[in-house]
Structure 1
Amino acid sequence: MFDLTNFSDAEASAIIKRALRLVAIMAVIVAPIVWWKMGWQSATLLLVGAAISALGLWKWLRLMTTVIALMDAAGSGDGTAKTPTPLGRVLAGFFLMLALMLAALYGSLKLLDGSVYALFAGLGMGIVALTIEAVRTVKAWTT
């Protein structure tokens, strides 16, 4: 059995970064297959979904890093903690990115006559990548 109290911020960050890399690898491998089977519009929808998924993971990493840095700065009373990026700016960027992702979704569905399932597959790549990385981490802790 593993103890989550030993799970560090650096490990969480590394998991998300590996998941980002895995999303990119999956998109590069799957997009040509989708292009061959379903056409370039569906392959483009898959890549749009994968990009949105990866950007969501990246923005979540940025938000998580900022909140943890703020908590560390508040916890150290000696004033030696590094001043993090203001949370308001990170939150504004997070919601702006969500709005841009929504616009990309709408635009790609409106302009491309491809398979919606390909778009869903691209959007699901982030969940699959995070699940794979979580299983790898748990497996490494238990062995």
Structure 2
Amino acid sequence: MKTLAGFSDDDFKRTIRSAIRLLIIATAVAAPLIWWKSSWQSAALLVVGAVISGSGLWEWLRLMSAVMVRMDAGGEAKPMGMILVGFFLRLGLTIVLLYVSLKHLNGSVYALAFGLALGVFCLSVEGIRLMKAWTV
């Protein structure tokens, strides 16, 4: 049985990357279904939500990797300034993307919310998989 003390940076990175991969697969399956059931605008809003969610997971991976490198004694730390600038730039672009997509795409807001929630769902699935692997 693995203990939490053995949880490494690579395990964290693998979990986030798996969640992003699952998000891409779920979006590729859900977008055509929503397009078929509702409209292409709703499918586009789903994709916008999934892109925002996936970029959030990616930024979290970058930010936490930089923090972990700084905490490890043997790692060479990257400057945090550029990572933080990228983080806040992504937040600003997210706001612009949400505003523009809601203003110009007359699709379902629920599809957008579903796309945003897909990231949380995929990260939860990968977290449960990780817990099962560590408790067996």
Shared fold (TM-score, shorter chain, > 0.5): yes
The whole-number CA distance in structure 2 between the counterparts of 1:9 and 1:18 is 14
CA–CA distance in 1 between the matches of 2:38 and 2:65? Answer: 39
Alignment of 1:64-83 (within 5 A): 64-72=64-72, 75-76=73-74, 81-82=75-76
Structure 1 runs not aligned, ≥5 long: none
Which segments of 5 or more consecutive residues in structure 2 lack a partner in the other structure?
none
Identity %: 50
Which residue in 2 is equivalent to 1:91?
84
CA–CA distance in structure 1, aligned partners of residues 45 and 78 of structure 2:
34
- Residue 7 of structure 1 aligns with an amino acid whose one-letter code is F
Deviations 1:88-136 (A, max 9, x none): 1100110001100111011100111000000000001110001000111
In 1: Cα distance, 2:63 partner to 2:135 partner: 29
- Distance in 2 between residues matched to 1:102 and 1:22, nearest whole Å: 24
Aligned mates of 2:68, 2:132 — CA distance in 1: 26
Alignment of 1:25-44 (within 5 A): 25-44=25-44
Aligned CA RMSD, in angstroms, stands at 1.2
Residue type at the aligned position of 1:40: W
Residues 1:20 and 2:20 aligned together: yes
**1:85 to partner: Cα distance:** 2.2
Displacement of 1:6 in angstroms is 1.3
Runs (4+) of structure 1 moved beyond 2 Å? none
